[in-house]
Amino acid sequence: MYCQVLVLAVFAAFQCGFPASCTRSLNDRPIIGILAQENLEDDPHAQGSSYIAASYVRHLESAGARVVPIHINRTEEEYEKLFNAINGLLLPGGNVDIDKSQFTRVAKNELAIKVSANDVSDYFPIWGTCQGFQQLTVLTSNKNLLTLTDTKAVALPLTFSPAWHCYCNSVRANHKRFYRVLTTNTDGKKELISTMEAYQYPFYAVQWHPEKSPFEWIEKDGMVHTLSAIKAAFYTAHFFVSEAMKNHHRFSSQSEEEKSLIYNYQPVFKGMNSIFLQN
């Protein structure tokens, strides 16, 4: 199991990747895609082959976005069509193989599309949380650079870094060209990157879980619901949704939009001891 860091503090602003686009007229009906991932084989509540945790959906909805699920068994043509209809992408936390899973296959395809789009001034933001953070590092460095740390089920303060400060143990050289490190943390022995953003693209990633404080209620160390934790959660949601508002993709019709929305799926309650209360 890869480390999961839950950092709870009032958050500082991310940088705007494309300053000129920050002044564009905004899309006040943003729709953000969340990438699904494979169900665990031993999950007794599994319905179908993949899932999205409801807390990520609520996280985005709390800031004024709607959500479309991105399935892991579609064609490249279908992903291209969906890209032209949505305004941002969230890669969620979870527990799949970030080298060879279906989640990884689709994420790699999605990242390539988004990089190409941004290169021609089609502003399209990506957010990665925990596993999503890790997936982005694998895809941008072409190797798995994860280091095991003693940071599971803990709440830590963010240690902010100067904009040029870009390091974290073995990932120093591989992240320096693509990402600006915003915060780091330590388990007392190793220093790790906890928040980062791309230099040239509106891509953002956190190794912690802003969505859990307001929307997940498992009794577990590190799961706190303080006012400052919840403010941090809603700040990150607001920031990412505001980035998605800079994109003006649209579905081809209202019927196509309605067919695609997460509202077509019913949440499944997994119990108060589950990592995700609802999928």
Please give the Cα distance from 129 to 136 (Å, whole number).
10
The DSSP 8-state label assigned to residue 14 in this structure reads P
Residue 154, exposed/middle/buried by CB under 10 A (0-12, 13-18, 19+)?
middle
Residue 249 annotated to the active site: no
Q: Kindly give the residue spans of alpha helices, DSSP state H, lying in the chain.
A: 54-61, 76-83, 102-119, 131-141, 172-176, 212-215, 227-244, 254-260
Residue 248 annotated to the active site: no
The DSSP 8-state label assigned to residue 100 in this structure reads T
170 Cβ neighbours under 8 A, 6+ residues apart: 145, 147
Q: Would you say 27 and 247 are in contact if contact means Cβ atoms under 8 Å apart?
A: yes
Torsion of CA 6, 52, 36, 83, to 10 degrees: -100
Amino acid at 210: P
* Catalytic choice (59, 175, 209, 249): 209
CA nearest to 3, candidates 155, 138, 151, 104: 151
Q: Give the bridge partners for 34, in sequence order.
A: 69, 90
Q: What's the longest Cα–Cα distance across the chain?
A: 54
* Catalytic choice (130, 166, 168, 249): 130
The residues annotated as belonging to the active site are: 130, 209
